[in-house]
């Protein structure tokens, strides 16, 4: 399964990395890794998370208060 970020989601992701890095050195990196791990979970188990709307699902990150919305 291939994935890509919606342009607005990409911008939000980059802003969140900057925000967390501003809070503590290395935290932005940790956030980026966490989101990429969340995406890998989606790729591996795409039907696991509940649908929010028809065809749209959300997988929550573990450490940070973010969810990744996706559709199949």
Helix (H) or strand (E) holding 69: strand 67-71
Evaluate whether residue 1 is within a structural domain.
Answer: no
Domain limits for position 20: 7-71
Number of domains comprising the chain: 1
Nearest in space to 70 (alpha carbons), one of 42, 34, 29, 30: 42
Evaluate whether residue 2 is within a structural domain.
Answer: no
Evaluate whether residue 19 is within a structural domain.
Answer: yes
Global confidence as pTM = 0.89
Evaluate whether residue 11 is within a structural domain.
Answer: yes
Is residue 3 pLDDT above 90, yes or no?
A: no
Evaluate whether residue 27 is within a structural domain.
Answer: yes
Evaluate whether residue 28 is within a structural domain.
Answer: yes
Full strand arrangement of the beta sheet holding 56-60: 51-53, 56-60, 67-71
Q: For 43-67, give the DSSP string.
A: HHSTTSSPEEETTEEEEE-SSSS-E
pLDDT tens digits for 39-71?
A: 999 999 999 999 999 999 999 999 999 999 999
pLDDT tens digits for 19-35?
A: 999 999 999 999 999 99
């Amino acid at each position: 399964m291939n994935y890509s970020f919606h342009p607005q989601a990409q911008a939000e992701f980059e802003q969140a990395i900057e925000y967390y890095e501003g809070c503590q050195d290395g935290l932005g990196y940790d956030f980026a890794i966490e989101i990429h791990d969340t995406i890998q979970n989606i790729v591996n188990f795409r039907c696991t998370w509940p649908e929010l709307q028809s065809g749209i699902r959300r997988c929550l990150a573990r450490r940070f208060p973010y969810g990744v919305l996706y559709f199949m």
